[in-house]
């Protein structure tokens, strides 16, 4: 619940900044990434190795930067945009919360398994 509130706050804050600073030609873009292969995800070999839906940081940054000034909100990477569209269009909040919780539990278990080795 707190995570959803924080995400809503960041989006709302970005919109307020965009409105407030547009007269100074300052671009404010809200970026909502899914998983990106970075050292921050070292708790999961699945995320570190990357895949079709988990780009490396350089690819993600290149695509996200290309959208700067073109759209107010982006997922930053084309497969993330596809995921975002499917998730937001076809699944209610309770399903997204349940799947997110299961995914986080899976990553937590993967981390604990790595620690045992």
82 neighbors 55 (Cβ within 8 angstroms): no
For residue 31, give both structure tokens. 């970026």
The rounded distance, in Å, linking the Cα atoms of 76 and 81 is 7
Give the integer Cα–Cα distance in Å for 28 and 69.
Answer: 8
Residue 45 has pLDDT above 60, yes or no: yes
pTM (two decimals): 0.75
Q: Looking at the predicted structure, is the pLDDT value of residue 76 above 90?
A: yes
Model pLDDT, residue 117: 76
């Amino acid at each position: 619940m707190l995570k959803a509130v924080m995400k809503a706050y960041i989006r709302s804050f970005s919109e307020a900044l965009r409105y407030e600073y547009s007269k100074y030609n300052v671009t404010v873009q809200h970026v909502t990434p899914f998983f990106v292969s970075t050292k921050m995800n070292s708790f999961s070999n699945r995320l570190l190795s990357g895949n079709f839906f988990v780009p490396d940081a350089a690819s993600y940054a290149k695509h996200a930067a290309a959208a700067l000034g073109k759209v107010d909100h982006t997922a930053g990477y084309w497969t993330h945009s596809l995921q975002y569209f499917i998730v937001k269009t076809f699944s209610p909040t309770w399903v997204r919360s349940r799947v997110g919780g299961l995914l986080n539990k899976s990553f937590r278990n993967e981390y604990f398994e790595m620690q045992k080795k």
